[in-house]
Structure formats: structure tokens, C-alpha cells
Structure 1
């Protein structure tokens, strides 16, 4: 009996030791970059957060202890994104050999073939993919069939590995819902164009109840691709795009319009209230409801939107979920929101100027004409754009360089009129020294047509103007200091 107990104790201690020593090793061979960014799952769930940046050691290696208690996906970024499905107590080694151009990636560890298939999975930006489908064919049934075919092709390797018992049920379930959510995001986005053309006013000659009901049915058909209420989706990064599209276009806009209860938000705060209320009203199942409410608040905090409604969302959340695992990730950002709100009544600095009658500027030609007789560096940004505000960290060095070269700095916001107050407060909060204008709706459409790529105008975006002409339509960001300065100097 003592022998059996001793054997059991030794087995337990051995397992515990292995679990403590389990690690994820990331290796780069022949690479010049020394930084790897990664994001851990939160108790098995994908919860959008700022990527952790770490430096490779002298051998090009980074070791991360595997302390996970439940299975979940890590995201690694080294020139591109890689996913790794990590299980408790297991060790993995991800190697990128930059000299091997044909097959640079190798993975050692459990379910190796599945891990390679997952890490090599690459998705086109869902809005660009939706635009491509819509341009080729505007019929929903045709796009659904084509997307289903692509989905099946993408999922086929995982089905085969699962059938061969090379990946288990948990791995396959994750891969399946990851892929399904991506294609559901694409298909739901294709509905954006027909919805924009609808007339919901029953007194209008353009009102077509049959067409509205048909599009309503399309939203129900999305469940065949991926069920928006499937709690397994919390483990995947693709659910964020799918739920954002579904909640924004169907629950917040289409359904209220169809029911005759839609109210156009008067400003950004009212819009965010409407988005938050969609989650409260339509998601009753836990833990999905808690997850989506926390994700909504956290995304607003990461984007540094700083709306006055955010502290109220936070108070409501912690009251409903006093022991939520998400609260520690939300709390630090709330203090920054409160600090921002104190700046609303402050005066503008002397070097924060506004283009006279900027609302009358409606074309890119009129915008570029502002640079006649001088050189102007333009920063396109918006109050809702997190990466735009990250680049503001480098404004001091940028301003010094531009001043030394006689280049003026202009900030062009693409915010809507409803965000006017927020826009002006952010100018003060981030101490944006230079000339400012907020693009009118006509100017924004003109900017979009001039600078979009695959029907997407991504910001932050930087251009250089000289004497009324566009010299550099795609300048580097301020964070790439030396490369940007060298790029600009060739036009001086």
C-alpha cells in the first residue's frame, strides 16, 4: 500500500515539475530584427490587448514559461502573425529560418502538423475580401456559395488531421470556429452595400418591404457559416470582426430600422451607448455576455477614445460582475479617461492653429493648394484610431526635424461632425502642435477615392505636399524616424 502511495506521489510530483518547466520557445535564425511581439490568451479566451514586446537573446531565442491552466491560442508577431494553440504543461518550439525562403517555419511539440497548418493560416483583411466579393457579384446567394467553398477548402487540412487523430477535439474545434468566424465576417460585410441602398420609410416610393425582408433573411442565413451566439468564439481573434459587423449593421442599424425604432445618434457618446446597449439587450447567455461587454470597454480604452460615457460603462460592468477576470485589465485605462476629460475646458496653445473655413474644403486639390509656396507634411488621423495616437509619441522628434527643414505640419482628422468636441480635446490632450482641419464629408470621400487601397483607406496615413503638389503619397510613420527623414529629404 505504501509503495502504491509513493508511486502515485512521485508521478504527481513528476507531472508538476514538467508543468512548471513547460515553455514556449521562439527562435529566429538569420534574422536582423530582434523584437518579437506576442499576446497570451486570457484563461483560454482571446481578449484584445496591447502586444507584449520582448527581445531575442544573442542566439535569437525567446523563452516564455507556459503557465496556462486551460488551452488557448497565443499570437506571435515577427514580420507576420503566427498562431500557436497552447495546452497546459506542454512545451513548444517555434523556429523561423529566414535563410530558408521556401519553408521558413518549423514547429516542434504536440500536434505538430496541426500547429504548422494553424501558424501558416493567413487571412486577407475581411473588409477587403468582402469588397472583392461584392465587386465580382452582388447576389448574396452566389457570394455565400463561394465563401462556403473557400471555408471548406481552408478547413479541409484540419478535418483530415482530426480524422487521422493528429489533432484532438479541442484543437479542431478552435481551428473550425476561427475559420468560420472569419468567413462569417466577410459574408456579413457584403451586406453593408445593399443595406445602404434600402429605404425604410414606408411613405417613400422607394420603400420595398419584400427586399427588406429578403435581406433580413440573409442575416439569419449567416448562422450556417457561424452562430454569432456560439461561446466557443471567445477563443478566437476572428470573432471580434464578425461580432463587430453583426452587432453594428444588424442589431444596431438594420433591425431597429426595420422595426421603425431606429434613432440616429447625435454624437459619438450616443453612438457608443447604442453599441453598448446592443450587447446588453441581445446577448443574455453567460459567459459570452460578460466577455463582449468587457471586450467593448477594453477596445475603447485601447483605442484611447476617452469618451465621457466610458466610466459609466465600467461602473455598470463591475457592479454586474464584481469578481470578473477582465476587471484588472480595464481599471488602468479608466484613470486615463478621467484625466483626458479634465482637458476639455482648457485653452488651445498658441501653436495649435486651425485652417480658416476648413469646412469649405471639399477636394484633395483644394487641400493640396494649402501648400502653395511651402512644404507640408500631413498626418491623417481620427479620434477613434488607436495606432494614430500611438504615433503621437514620436511627435517631438518629428516636429524638431520638420522645423529644421522648414516643413509645416498639418493634422487632418477624418472624424465626423458629431465627434467635433472630442477632436478638439484630443488636440489639446496630445499637444498636437501644427495646423488642423477636420475633413468634411465631401472631402473625406475625395480623400478616400484618391488614397484608398482595395476600397480601404487605412490610417494613420502620411503624405508630403510641396508647392501645391503631392510629392509623397505614402510617407513612412513618425516611429520610423531615420527612414522617414531620409524619405522626406529627397524632396527638399
Structure 2
């Protein structure tokens, strides 16, 4: 559990509650499958970021209680393991009764409060935060085929106005306060401007493939205009869950458009393991004060939870602590940096002799080629990549997998679809996760062969399948180690 000195929460309902006008109280009840804890974002300086959270214990009956210091209207997201239950628009001095049903998606989150109609309306928005609706890019898909900037901007504005119509009505009826309305208005305004910025960025990327629908002049103008109307320096932007991603888009605009940085230079930073340091140095050119501190911390957190275990992030974390020795964000960064330190320490240990890299892998252009280069009767193939979170999540059950495969005389083969630029990370992760078996990083032809066998160019991974001694697929889709009992049944029926 993360502890934050300004946050008070109760373990037992019998304890006395001391609430002030500069705090809020949340009394909650969870039905369905009851988790051990409930996590909630902490509105430090009014900021709502999915990584800066504390947690409260839940009693066996599903009850929990939280008191949070609060001096301004803020978003507070209630969640568990990055799965959002709902978002509360919290106003200082108020009491909220929250009910959560973990097994009913239609009515999973309800709030009893004087402004509960506003709470219901906000929670109906499908893209209210990253852990609910994804990224700007998901909304941007709606406009990728449009080629007239004025029409795009009009559509985006109409989408925003449609979202705000209900809140305007509630404000007029005095069901929600001006502060409540203003917070939602700022958030939605910046979110929709973020869509516009994302669309400009995607068109920029499409230029290299000649797939851009907007010309250089058009998307550059569109990109520039959003930062004029909605500057990143607006302190109210800090309260929006979209601050980090909006600023990220702003920094891309400055680097790629204003500074005209060659993407090849950025690729070189990636290759040398210096891209994160470069990105923070770039942020320091345009941000300062609280905004820079927040962005710096959010950047480290966001990159660390991708589980790429980059040593550079440890260096950046040390720099952050040096530059912000009293930062409120440091306690949230430490837990995500510790696994990276463990990963790097693991690299100093000898490699398990059961981990085998296939020789001449660069010349293996198909699954048949791969299998024919080995000696065995049947092969369990795991298609994965270092950037694939679900792939790495499967590895925690590998001990059971190896035992099962050994009993069936089946050989383990891992094929990574990582690009050459991630060769070092590929080998480091194999070492860290102790992946016993044969290892190949697919070249372009093997990658194409895998996608052809899968039946879709957008190959979903992790993908597990079984082959015979010549590489012909016996079972195209079988379970991973996390479903070991089901996998055993599938192998028994083979």
C-alpha cells in the first residue's frame, strides 16, 4: 500500500471521523467480487493522474471510508489495478456515498450527493480518462479520412458541445455548482483540442508513407492553433486527467515542427538508450515550475510501468529527486523504479544454461525453417515481444509450463517479433524472466510468415501454438501458462 502523509483513511467504521471544509469524505460499499483495497487518485495541487494514487482497505462486507484533504474542486478516480470503477467530481467540504458493483457493467458506479445527476452524466462519458477511454488517438480514428480542416474542427467542436449540453442544463437548474461545471468544461475543452493535435501528429507520421489526408501546411496550421487557443501554461489544465498527454503532444509539435528535428536523430537516441533523457531535456525548454515537476514525474511513472526495465529511468529518477528533493510525487515513483533496479541487477548474474539462442537465426525465414533447425518431436511456440505487457504477464506461471512440457516431451520455443533496435532489451528480458528454451528474434520474412499463419497482419500476441517436428502447425491456438489446466487438456487431446 502506498502511504501519503496528508491522506487519512479509516480501517474500521467505528473510528471517529474528523472532517473539515478543506476535505471530502467518501463512504463506499462494494458488491459482487470484493477486492482487498480500493485505489483512488490523489488530487495533489488539484491534479488527477492515474499513477498518483493511495488506497483504502475494504472490510469483508465491502465497506470502505476515505477522507481526502481538498481545497479545490477536483477529479478523483476510484479503481483497482488500473481498472476504473468510476470518477468522482469532488468539491471541498462535501460528503459522498458511493456504491460499486463489480459484476454489473450497466450500473457499476453510483454516487449519492447533492450533485449526483452531474456525477452520473460525467461517468457516462466514455473517454473521461486514460484508464477508461484510452488515448487521444482512439478518438482521432473518427477523423483520419477527413481532408478539410474546417470541417474536422467543426465536427470536433460539435462533439464537445454535445457532451457539455447536459452539464449546461444542470448548471442552469442549479443542480451542479459553477466550480463543478467549470472543471468539466476545462477538461472537455482540452480533451477535444488534444484530439485535433493527435490528428495533426498522425498526419505528420503518414507523410513518410504518403498516407496523409491533410497537407503539411494544413496539419501544421491545425496543430499550431490549438496551443494558441488552449496553451499548456494554463494552470487549470493541471486539473484535467489529460494534462500529461496534451503536454506530450505540445512537445512533439515544438520538436518536430518548430525545431524541425530529424526523426533519424530521435531514432539514434533510442538506439543509444538516451531517448528518455532527451525527452525530459526537451520538456525543460518549454515547461517550468509545477507543470515541469508534474510532467517529469508523470513521464517517469508512465514509462516505468511499461515494464521495459530501462536503466536510463533509474538515472532520471535520481535526477528528479535531486531537482525536487521535497516533491509530493516521489513516493509514487519509488515502487515502479524498484523492479527496474532488480532487473538491472539480474543482468550481472550468469545466464541459465537452459536458455538457448538459436544459431544463424537471421537466416530462418519461416516457422518450418526454425523447427527444422532444432531436434525434437513437438514444439510449443510462444510468440511475444518485449513491449507486450500481456506477454510478460504470462511468464510468471512458466515454472508450471516447463514441468508440463517436460512430461509431454514437448520442446519450448520463444519467437520474438521485436525489431533489431530492441535486440539488447530482448536478451535482457530473456535473462530477467529466466525463459528456458530456444530463442529466436524474427527477421522480416519470419515475421511475415507468422502473420500469414495467424491469418491477420495485425497479429495478436501473446500467441501460442503447437507444431510437429517439421514445423507444421498441429494446434493453431492453445492456452498460455496462466491457463495451465486448460493447456494440459489441450495437449492430452492432441
TM-score for the superposition, normalised by structure 1: 0.77
Which residue of the partner structure matches residue 238 of structure 1?
A: 242
CA distance in 2, matches of 1:391, 1:306: 17
CA–CA distance in structure 2, aligned partners of residues 451 and 158 of structure 1: 47
Distance 2:460 2:69 in 1: 35
- Which deviations, in whole Å up to 9, do the C-alpha atoms of 1:242-295 show, x marking residues without a partner? 334443x424444443689955425161222222222112213x2111100111
Question: In structure 1, how many angstroms separate the alpha carbons of the residues matched to 2:368 and 2:193?
Answer: 39
Name 1:274's counterpart in structure 2: 278
TM-score by length of 2: 0.76
Counting matched residue pairs gives 462
- For the 8 Å contact 1:297–1:314, the answer to whether it is kept is yes
Determine whether 1:133 maps to 2:140. Answer: no
Partner residue, 2:49: 47
How far apart, CA to CA, are the structure 2 residues paired with 1:431 and 1:50? Answer: 31
Structure 1 residues 289 and 169: CA distance shift in structure 2, 3 A: farther
Map residues 371-382 of structure 1 onto 2, 5 A cutoff.
Answer: 374-382=378-386
| 1:219 shift after superposition | 1.0
Q: What is the aligned partner in structure 2 of residue 62 from structure 1?
A: 63
Equivalent residues of 1:27, 1:95 under 8 A apart: yes
User: How many angstroms does 1:98 deviate by?
Assistant: 7.7
Q: Counterparts of 2:264 and 2:222 in 1: how far apart (Å)?
A: 21
Instruction: Report deviation, 1:129.
Output: 3.3
CA-to-aligned-CA distance 1:412-442 (integer Å, 9 cap, x gap) = 4443323322221221122122332334456
Matching residue of 1:157? 166
CA distance in 2, matches of 1:408, 1:481: 16
* Residues 183 and 225 in structure 1, CA contact (< 8 A), matched pair in contact too: no
The answer to whether the 8 Å contact 1:412/1:436 transfers is yes
Contact persistence 1:66–1:90 (CA under 8 A): no
What is the aligned counterpart of 1:304 among 294, 302, 307? 307
Structure 1: which 5+ residue stretches go unaligned? 1-12, 201-205
Query: Contact between 1:66 and 1:89, CA under 8 Å: does it hold in 2?
Result: no
- 1:113 maps to 2:117: yes
**Contact 2:96/2:111 (CA < 8 Å) preserved in 1?**
yes
- Do the aligned partners of 1:381 and 1:411 also contact (CA within 8 Å) in 2? no
How much does 1:326 deviate? 1.1
Counterpart for residue 296 of structure 2:
293
1:185-209 Cα deviation digits (max 9, x unpaired): 4333333443234469xxxxx9x9x
Instruction: State the partner residue of 1:218.
Output: 222
RMSD of the TM alignment (CA)?
4.2
Asked if 1:85 is matched to 2:94, the reply is: no
Report how far residue 375 of structure 1 moved.
Answer: 4.2
- SS of the residue corresponding to residue 160 of structure 1 reads helix
Q: Specify the SS of the correspondent of 1:49.
A: coil
Deviation at 1:395, TM superposition (A): 2.7
In 2, the alpha carbon distance for the partners of 1:451 and 1:36 equals 39
Name 2:433's counterpart in structure 1: 430
Question: 1:170 and 1:154 mapped to 2: Cα distance?
Answer: 17
Q: Which residue does 1:203 correspond to in 2?
A: none
Q: 2:331 aligns with which of 328, 332, 342?
A: 328
Find the residue that maps to 2:274 and give its secondary structure.
helix
Deviations along 1:359-404, whole A, 9 cap, x unmatched? 445678878999995242424232x455544443333234334444
Separation (CA, whole Å) in 1 of partners of 2:492 and 2:229? 50
Secondary structure at the counterpart of residue 306 of structure 1: coil
Return the alpha-carbon distance in structure 2 between the equivalents of residues 254 and 344 of structure 1. 39
Q: 2:355, 2:437 within 8 Å by CA — same for their partners in 1?
A: yes
Equivalent position SS for 1:342: helix
For residue 113 of structure 1, report the CA deviation from its aligned partner.
0.8
Shift of 1:149: 1.9
Higher mean displacement: 66-75 or 442-451 = 442-451
CA distance in 1, matches of 2:54, 2:19: 27
Change (3 A) 1:255 1:373: farther
Distance change (3 Å), C-alpha of 1:132 and 1:14: closer
Distance 1:457 1:257, change over 3 A: farther
What residue number does 2:28 align with?
Answer: 25
| Cα drift, residue 224 of structure 1 | 7.2
